[in-house]
Amino acid sequence: MTNPKQAQMYFKLFACCVTVKGAVRSTICDVQRGEIKLIPNSLYTILTEHQHQTYSEIQEAYDYDETLDEYFDFLVENELGFWTDTPEFFPPLDMTWQTYSNINNAIIDIDAASSHDFKAIFAQLEELGCDHIQLRYYTDVSKDTLENHLESTKRSRFKSIELVVKHGSLLDIPAAEALVVSNARIHKLVLHGAPESGIRPVMKPGTDFSLGQMILLSYEITSADHCGVIDPFYFSIDTKTMTESHQFNTCLNKKIGIDAQGEIKNCPSLTESFGNIAQVSLHQAMLQKDFKKLWEVNKNQVEICKDCEFRHICTDCRAFIQNPENEYSKPSKCNYDPYTASWANS
Amino acid sequence: MIVIATRKIDSSTNDIIDWIDGKGGTVVRVDEDNTLQRLHIVSGKGANNSFIQVNQQKIYFKDIVAFWHRKGQSFFADHPAYSLQLDTNHVDISEELAQEWAIVKEYLFFLLSQKRNLGNYFKSSLNKLIVQHQAQAIGLTIPQAFVLTAKEDALNLDLEVITKALSEVAIISFDDATYCSYTTEVTQDFIQTLPENFFPALMQEKIVKKYELRVFYLDGKCYSMAIFSQLDQQTAVDFRVYNMTKPNRTVPYQLPQDLEEKIDKLMHELQLNTGSLDFMVTQDNEFYFLEVNPVGQFGMVSLPCNYYLEKKIADYLLNNQPENHA
Ligand code: SF4
Ligand code: SF4
């Protein structure tokens, strides 16, 4: 290091760049810019165990190893951290996660046999303070029927609606797009069984203002068994997931599900039902003893995941797990092995 | 009941209403374009019957526990009867009515200020020069500043200066272009182009900063954030010129205690229980106080620092004891 002043300085990662240690390598999760950087565990050690030492102290501890400068240059060049003479001014990110609502998000499944009273369900969800809803249609449905189901959401407090709908004779791509345009709350529409796969932004007609996103899938989604896939594509590198994952389950916390038969569950893919929506209110269901039992199962407790460098940006599926007898076993639809740092081909 | 006076589109208001709702509180939201439909104010005996009516809803003063003047022109601005009468061609009458109305309006805000309050309607815009003066008296360091009108004086400045608006940032459209009064450097070349005498302008010592601070102050506590705008030349002079693809690093910051105490003192002097303050920190760790904004945007501090300011504000309005979170 050429700057003599720097010798007495401390290196700090920006608080939004959070280090997560894995079995054989680590990540720096940049929750501000939504990026991750893979780093060797030796650098993790420098950034954690040696964070209270000055540059020269670290150099001394490492016998003036040249790699140190390479590491620090890499971190500074990528704007992940900085040198400071006042490290006490820069506290780490507080990992507290809080919410105002009893239920934050809901999944409602619908197939040809479903007979949900959508207006009543949405009213109950609003009552619980729910912000985000996802509706998954496994069988053909027309734009008119969808609009009808969603009618009461137009003047609701929901912040976002995600639709998973089937492409077919009742609903083609332009109709699906028109649906996103017609309801400001729909921010994402997944069209399964589409002629091709791809992602398309949906713009407000005649403008370049984005209203949401349409995701086309060439395969069909026929039931709740399709859920639970773990893939880097679904990683959420943000403050919410980062903080929530330290204490809570990143998928099931504050979630409620209604399956295609109307059974109220934590999520539609789980087996345990807490009553049918035809007889029991959502509020009554969630007051039952075991309704929240998975809410606090977090990645620091789950086998294998607890050694994974992606655990604070990854979803934690509890419906599909390697050993159904063990509540803490790894999600079965994950192909990653943190001990070899490799993804198996599925 | 908590009354929030705000604007139709303000996501911070929505967030706080969510937190108040979640804690079982009742909120009445009044947007600036809502019309005051009816006034019924009783002083002295029967004051319990005082109410205002907005959105078909009677709001009794006795039911209001807290009032937050979040944003916008007050909802009392366009009383229909009042605007109707202003259509008169008699200027004197209009002026007289405007003055009459101003007294009533001030009284309404006075009544609301007797409740638990966040923000201070009477202080919703501050004089930057006076605030700087007060800040210095309290012991905060401020950049040297000049208000000048003569080219000669500007040329004689022996330090690098910037200039910025003394009032709010203005967005001005003319000749098919839109101009915004961002902070800019004043070069000698630029001063040469000025006429001998010009409109009073603020010239402020240019501070070479290591980073900027935004401090959200709420009821005696400071929630601070450092902004590393210097990393990026595009935003080095004014942080408001955003870089979208690579946002500035914004991280939680712990101010030295003596500085927090001075801020608390200044805010008391300004009779503000909330606001956001701007500082610059130099290479030598000097803290230069720049200004206070009484209606600060706390969302931009709350999220990156994970401070949950929306919840803290809701708790304040609900008069909840702050929780110690580990
Ligand atoms: S727990 Fe698994 S199956 Fe259930 S919603 Fe989450 S990812 Fe899907
Ligand atoms: S091992 Fe666990 S944490 Fe890692 S990617 Fe798979 S599911 Fe996610």
Token representation of residue B244: 């979208």
Residue-by-residue DSSP string for A21-76: E-SSEEEEEETTTTEEEEEEHHHHHHHHTTTTSBHHHHHHHTTS-HHHHHHHHHHH
Give the CA dihedral A195, A196, A197, A198, nearest 10 degrees.
Answer: -110
Q: Does B260 touch chain A (CB under 8 A)?
A: no
Segments of chain B scoring below 50 in pLDDT: 239-240, 242, 324-326
Q: Is the CB of A315 under 6 A from ligand 1?
A: yes
User: Nearest Cβ partner of A91 from B18, B252, B304?
Assistant: B252
Residue among B268, B262, B313 at smallest CA distance from B288? B262
Q: Is the CB of A230 under 6 A from ligand 2?
A: yes
**Chain B residues close to A32, C-beta within 8 Å:** 247, 249-250, 304
Over 60: is that where the pLDDT of A30 sits? yes
Contact assignment for B251 to A88 by CB distance below 8 Å = no
Sign of CA dihedral A134, A138, A143, A146: negative
Ligand nearest to the CA of A36: 2
Token representation of residue B161: 């200066």
Q: What is the pLDDT of residues A183-232, one digit of tens each?
A: 989 999 999 999 999 999 999 888 888 899 999 999 999 999 999 999 88
Q: What is the pLDDT of residues B102-133, one digit of tens each?
A: 888 889 889 998 999 988 877 777 899 999 99
User: Nearest Cβ partner of A93 from B228, B252, B314?
Assistant: B252
Chain A: closest CA distance from residue B276 (Å): 19
CATH 3.40.50 fits B2-122, yes or no: yes
C-alpha B75 – ligand 2 centre gap (Å): 52
User: Nearest Cβ partner of A33 from B247, B252, B314?
Assistant: B247
Q: What is the pLDDT of residues A317-328, one digit of tens each?
A: 999 999 999 999
Query: Which ipTM was obtained for this model?
Result: 0.89
pTM attached to this predicted model: 0.89
Please tell me the predicted confidence (pLDDT) of residue B69.
Answer: 85
Please tell me the predicted confidence (pLDDT) of residue B100.
Answer: 83
Interface of B with A in 28-67 (CB under 8 A): none
In A, what residues contact B, Cβ < 8 A?
14-16, 32-33, 79, 82, 85-86, 88-96, 98-101, 129, 239, 243
Chain B: closest CA distance from residue A34 (Å): 11
Q: Which atom of ligand 1 is nearest to the CA of A270?
A: 4
Q: What is the pLDDT of residues A293-302, one digit of tens each?
A: 999 999 999 9
Residue A192: strand pairing partners: A166
Residue among A159, A161, A134, A86 at smallest CA distance from A267? A134
Cβ A270 vs Cβ A319: under 8 Å = yes
**Chain B residues close to A86, C-beta within 8 Å:** 285
Q: Where in chain B do CATH 3.40.50 domains reside?
A: 2-122
Q: What is the pLDDT of residues A139-168, one digit of tens each?
A: 999 999 999 999 999 889 899 999 999 999
Q: Where in chain B do CATH 3.30.470.20 domains reside?
A: 132-141+207-294
The A186-192 sheet, strands edge to edge: A198-203, A210-216, A186-192, A160-166, A132-137, A105-110, A255-258, A264-265
SS3 assignment, position A162: strand
Sign of CA dihedral B104, B105, B108, B110: negative
Q: Which atom of ligand 1 is nearest to the CA of A251?
A: 6
CA-nearest residue to B244 within chain A is A33
Cβ A146 vs Cβ A117: under 8 Å = no
Buried b (16+ CB within 10 A) or exposed e, B5-28: bbeeebebbebbbbbbbbeebebb
Please tell me the predicted confidence (pLDDT) of residue B285.
Answer: 96
C-alpha A315 – ligand 1 centre gap (Å): 9
Contact assignment for A243 to B247 by CB distance below 8 Å = no
Chain B: closest CA distance from residue A97 (Å): 8
Look up the CATH number of domain B132-141+207-294: 3.30.470.20
Chain A: closest CA distance from residue B282 (Å): 12
Chain A: closest CA distance from residue B307 (Å): 8
The structure tokens 């309050």 sit at B117
CB pairs under 8 A between A and B: 70
C-alpha A339 – ligand 2 centre gap (Å): 11
Q: What is the pLDDT of residues B135-181, one digit of tens each?
A: 999 999 999 999 999 999 999 998 999 998 888 777 777 777 877 77
Percentage of chain A with pLDDT > 70? 98
Q: How far apart are CA A129 and CA A157, in angstroms?
A: 8
CA-nearest residue to B17 within chain A is A100
Q: How far apart are CA B323 and CA B326, in angstroms?
A: 9
Contact assignment for A93 to B306 by CB distance below 8 Å = yes
**Chain B residues close to A99, C-beta within 8 Å:** 22
Ligand nearest to the CA of A342: 2
φ/ψ of residue B275, rounded to 5: 160, 170
Token representation of residue B214: 């935004």
